[in-house]
Amino acid sequence: LDSGNQFEMSDHENESYSEEEEITDLSNPTVVLKYKTAADIVNKALQGVLSQCTAGKQISDICAFGDLLIEKQCAEIFKNKDMEKGIAFPTCVSVNDVVCNYSPFPSDSKTLEAGDVVKVDMGCHIDGYVAMAANTVIIPSEKMEEARKTEINDLMAAAYLMGEVCQRMIKPGNTNVQVSEALSTICKAYDVNMLQGILMHQMKRFVIDGNKVILSCNCDTDRVDECTFEPNEVYQVDIALTKGDGKTRAIGDRTTVFRRNV
């Protein structure tokens, strides 16, 4: 101190000064463990849900089954720790032209039929560290036309390739614009379109839609700020493709998926 006077901190100030700030990114091995544990749980749950996607099954029953798989697995881990864990995103089973977020009450539920294109997505968290998983399956049908089979094959192949590209390009030093341009190139090669409004977000503790965003659809209606990927960040890769023009609309069904205000 310039004055040479001596000062003593209060007990409260001393405690605050000595406490280390909690590290919540991937530089903390404990955080990595929680992400990996959540990922293991949600991947196992996803396989269980996909096995239930057969003709005649009620979608509400499948969604409830997926949520139960996550909750049961979470109940078996970190039993001695006082932490939140469980469902980060409810199981959604969206069929055909429904893009996402379909997790109906039994009274509103539909039944899966042969030939349906079924998109499943779900999420698990351990102490707020979220792992998301999604996949698309086709309910087998002997009556499916060859033209429809070809369209579905193009969409599946393009989506798989986009996932591989994102895995390689979302790394420190690259930008969200570079990823968007690469995805656009794949769309042109396979003659498919990304759906409008589908964004890939940075994820943080208890947050699945952070401020850093990757725009998957190069259309006039969607705009995001350019950003550079940094070490120890986590991103959600969300890919939705169509053979149509990519425009979406609200269908008016009852909303059942809500976002927690942390």
> Residue 223 to residues 90, 185, 187, 213: CA-CA distances in angstroms?
28, 18, 19, 10
**pLDDT tens, position by position, 55-111:** 999 999 999 999 999 999 999 999 888 999 999 999 999 999 999 999 999 999 999
Confidence of residue 17 (pLDDT cuts 50, 70, 90): very low
SS3 21: coil
> What residue type is assigned to position 194 of the chain?
M
Residues ≥6 apart with Cβ < 8 Å to 88: 38, 123, 124, 125, 130, 131, 132, 208
pLDDT recorded at residue 216: 80
Query: What percentage of the chain reaches a pLDDT higher than 90?
Result: 78
Whole-structure pTM value: 0.87
pLDDT exceeds 70 at position 236: yes
Confidence of residue 21 (pLDDT cuts 50, 70, 90): confident
Confidence of residue 23 (pLDDT cuts 50, 70, 90): very high
For residue 129, the surrounding DSSP H or E stretch is: strand 129-138
pLDDT recorded at residue 213: 94
Residue 84 CA to its chain's centroid (Å): 19
User: Angle at CA 253, nearest 5°, toward 250 and 258?
Assistant: 85
pLDDT recorded at residue 249: 87
**Of the candidates 239, 204, 237, 257, the residue with the CA atom closest to the CA atom of residue 91:** 257
CA distance 238 to 180: 12
CA distance 261 to 103: 20
**pLDDT tens, position by position, 179-207:** 999 999 999 999 999 998 889 999 999 99
- Between 86 and 142, name the one with better pLDDT: 86
**pLDDT tens, position by position, 35-59:** 999 999 999 999 999 999 999 999 9
pLDDT recorded at residue 219: 62
pLDDT recorded at residue 260: 84
Mean residue pLDDT across the chain: 90
Task: Please state, as a whole number, how many other Cβ atoms lie within 10 Å of the Cβ of residue 80.
Answer: 4
Count, residues in the chain: 262
- Between 10 and 103, name the one with better pLDDT: 103
pLDDT recorded at residue 198: 87
CA distance 216 to 6: 59
